[in-house]
Amino acid sequence: MKMKLWINKILIILWAFVFFFGAASGIQSQEKKRFPFAATLYKLKNGLHVILSEDHSLPIVSVVMVYNVGSMNEQPGKTGLAYLMENLMFQGSENIGRMQHVSIINRLGGELNATTTVDRTVFLQRVPSNQLTQVLWLESDRMRSLQINAAKVEKAKQEIIGDIRNRKAANPYLESYWRFDQLIYPSFAYNHPVIGSEVDLQDLKVQDVKDFYNTYYVPNNAVLSIAGKIDREKVLTDIRKYFETIPEGKEIPHVPLSKSPEEIPIHESMESDQVPSPGFHLGYRLAHPSSDDFYALSLIEYILLRGSTSRLQKRLIKRERLALHMDGDIEKRYPVARFKLFILNNNQFMVQRAQRAIFSELHRLKTSFISSEELQKSKNMFKMDYIDQYTDSLSRALFLAEEFLFKRILVNPSEELLKYFAVTPTDIVGVSNRYFKEDSVILDIEAK
């Protein structure tokens, strides 16, 4: 039958289409993008994850140790423990004197640093590559046999209390940041200052610190990431010697899940006689940091507020001059990332106008398609910053460790970049509508 034949033809054409495109996409997925650098993941018997990235261009090696612990692991009444612990990691062990870790690295011509956040504590060092074993010795020593005693804890406590006072004096807006955290994250675990409170620090006992160390500073709660001029086999042997001999710790206690605010939207205000200008914090809760929505969300961050030509910069700072200062980002913190803005204005009237302008920009993002030129610009800017995360050995070691902790795999940055580049104007509209709803959180700061 003619009709049937015709339908068959269509079917054949359709099949051909499916075959052709299916095959094409098949080829594409087989043709996986190569890693832009070498990287291998290992797991030791005691649960320590090890990432090695070999690069022989310069005689440098970077060693990053990330403990999967931060202020979110603290209990009420014991805030500041995580940061105090970071400080104590430099105060010596059975084998190493106070601050000797620092002076050894300095004498080698190396550099070191450490940082504590809500969800991580990170120790970093970059040294001449012939000194790698020295760093492994030092880093394993403080995981294995840190010395915690009353005198050291007391000294660290007083230093941090001094630090809290200095920070408060230097930044009159600091407490507004803390209050904003409480509004956007109602659960205690996620909403108290990383630096801790003076009262809690005063009350901390040596045993609290020892318990914290024994619970969280264990191989099964850490990632050791090394990048630079290394001989992988030799390094692995050394790592086994220094680290695999450290006993595995107990199971890591779970942190209660993050609650959402009960009533939305939230709009609160606080008064201060210390701040020179009024302003506000504005934010939204987003998704788990490993969510695929971050491909579009990350670009939205660039469209809205990265660089001097982003939408909010242009509108609030340049064109309408509604704000004196603006900063913000998408903070990929565990377990719920957030979009946040901090803005300073000339007066209260400008505060309201700036908020209206922000909502109108969000509305525009949700209701009209971005031009391909503007989307491409944000992708290019994003790409530069993304690549910058692994341009040198230290940032690369850190990048690999952090991405591993979010996704539990070794992330291939070339493939990841393709996913960001595949984001379409429709995705931007879709994701904006999913997250920028009626649940904004605003904290106004009124200058008395």
Is 291 or 346 the residue whose CB approaches other proteins more closely?
346
Q: What is the 3-state secondary structure (H, E, C) of the chain?
A: CHHHHHHHHHHHHHHHHHHHHHHHHHHHHHCCCCCCCCCEEEECCCCCEEEEEECCCCCEEEEEEEECCCHHHCCCCCCCHHHHHHHHCCCCECCCCCCHHHHHHHHCCCEEEEEECCCCEEEEEEEEHHHHHHHHHHHHHHHHCECCCHHHHHHHHHHHHHHHHHHHHHCCCHHHHHHHHHHHCCCHHHHCCCCCCHHHHHHCCHHHHHHHHHHHCCHHHEEEEEEECCCHHHHHHHHHHHHHCCCCCCCCCCCCCCCCCCCCCEEEEEEECCCCCCEEEEEEECCCCCCCCHHHHHHHHHHHHCCCCCHHHHHHHHHCCCCCEEEEEEECCCCCCEEEEEEECCCHHHHHHHHHHHHHHHHHHHHCCCCHHHHHHHHHHHHHHHHHCCCCHHHHHHHHHHHHHHHCCCCCHHHHHHHHHCCCHHHHHHHHHHHCCCCCEEEEEEEC
Name the minimum Å distance from CB 296 to other proteins: 18
Name the minimum Å distance from CB 249 to other proteins: 8
Is 246 or 400 the residue whose CB approaches other proteins more closely?
246
Name the minimum Å distance from CB 101 to other proteins: 11
Name the minimum Å distance from CB 209 to other proteins: 13
Name the minimum Å distance from CB 137 to other proteins: 5
* Peptide bond between residue 265 and the one before it cis (omega within 30 degrees of 0): yes
Is 58 or 199 the residue whose CB approaches other proteins more closely?
58
Name the minimum Å distance from CB 124 to other proteins: 13
Is 243 or 280 the residue whose CB approaches other proteins more closely?
243
Q: Which tokens go with 121? A: 């504590």
Is 54 or 439 the residue whose CB approaches other proteins more closely?
54
Is 90 or 284 the residue whose CB approaches other proteins more closely?
90
Is 267 or 377 the residue whose CB approaches other proteins more closely?
377
Q: Quick one: which of 297, 301, 257, 288 has its CA closest to 407?
A: 288
Name the minimum Å distance from CB 319 to other proteins: 10
Q: Which positions touch other proteins (CB under 8 A)?
A: 36-37, 55, 57-60, 94-95, 103-104, 106-111, 126-131, 133-134, 136-137, 140-141, 144-145, 214, 218, 229, 241-242, 245-251, 307-309, 318, 373, 376-377, 380-381, 383-384, 387, 391-393
Is 171 or 245 the residue whose CB approaches other proteins more closely?
245
Name the minimum Å distance from CB 313 to other proteins: 10
Is 96 or 296 the residue whose CB approaches other proteins more closely?
96
Name the minimum Å distance from CB 421 to other proteins: 12
